[in-house]
Chains A and B, each alone.
Chain A
Amino acid sequence: QSALTQPASVSGSPGQSITISCTGTSSDVGMYNYVSWYQQHPGKAPKLIIFDVSNRPSGISSRFSGSKSGNTASLTISGLQAEDETDYFCTSYRLGSTPYVFGSGTRVTVL
C-alpha cells in the first residue's frame, strides 16, 4: 500500500485538460513544498516533470503544471496529446526515518 494516494487511472480526449491528485498527510505533502512528479513509459526510467510542487525542469513542456492545497498535490496536463498516454507518480519528502514517500501511480489514457 502506497503512502501517497493517486487515482489508478485518468482519461481525457486530445486537447482537453486532466488533473491527477496525490493525497498524503500533514507529515509529507502538507508539511513540505517538496512534491515532485515523474512520467514513466513502460519499461523505461522515470523522468522528472515537476519539482517543488510547481516547477518544471528545463525542457519540460509548459502543458505540465503542478499545485498543492493542504495535504493534496495535483498535476495538470493541458492540451492533452497522444504522447502523454503513460504512467505518472508523485513523490514527497517527509518527516521521519523514511525521507521519501511515493504515490501509487496513475495511468493516463488519451481517448
Chain B
Amino acid sequence: QVQLVQSGAEVKKPGASVKISCKASGYTFTSYYMHWVRQAPGQGLEWMGIINPNGDYTTYAQKFQGRFILTRDTSTSTVYMDLSSLTFDDSAVYYCASLDPRHYYFDWWGQGTLVTVSS
C-alpha cells in the first residue's frame, strides 16, 4: 500500500521558517519526482516546486524563489520542504505529491500539513 505521510501541523510567527517532511512507502521512492502544492484558506491549489528522484535537481515557482528549498533523503525515503521568511499569507495546507516522470499526473498525495502563521 502506497503512503505519503507528512509531518504534523505547525504554528509559526512571521519571519520564521517551517520544515515539513513527507515520508514515502510502498513504492520505489527513487523512481518518482516529488511535487509540493499548497492551498490557502478559501483558495485553490498552488504549485510550489519539484525535486527529482536523485535529489540533484529542483525547480521552484517564481514567487517562492529564494525562500523555498526541497531536499530528499533516499535512505529514509523522505522529502523535506523548507519555507522561510513566513508571512501571514503562507498560512495554508501544504501537500506533497509524487509523480512518475513518464506521466503527467500525480499518482499519490500526502494527507496535508497545516501551517498557521500567527503573531
Contacts and interface: CB of A to CB of B under 8 A. Distances in A.
Interface in B43-61: 43-47, 50, 61
Given A36-B104, A52-B104, A93-B104, A98 B47 contact: yes
B106 A2 contact: no
Interface residues of A, number: 28
Contacts of A100: 35, 37, 47
A93 to B, nearest CB: 4
B110 interface: yes
Contacts of A36: 104-106
A18 interface: no
Contact of B45 (A2, A43, A45, A48): A2
Interface of B: 4, 35, 37, 43-47, 50, 61-62, 95, 97, 103-112
A24 interface: no
Given A98-B61, A99-B50, A100-B35, A48 B44 contact: no
Given A2-B44, A103-B44, A105-B44, A45 B110 contact: yes
A97 B109 contact: no
Given A46-B95, A97-B62, A102-B37, A34 B104 contact: yes
Interface in A36-57: 36, 38, 43-48, 51-52
A46 B50 CA distance: 18
A100 B43 CA distance: 16
A1 B104 contact: no
A101 B46 CA distance: 7
14 contacts: A2-B43, A2-B44, A3-B44, A44-B111, A45-B95, A45-B110, A45-B112, A46-B95, A47-B109, A48-B105, A51-B105, A102-B44, A103-B45, A104-B44
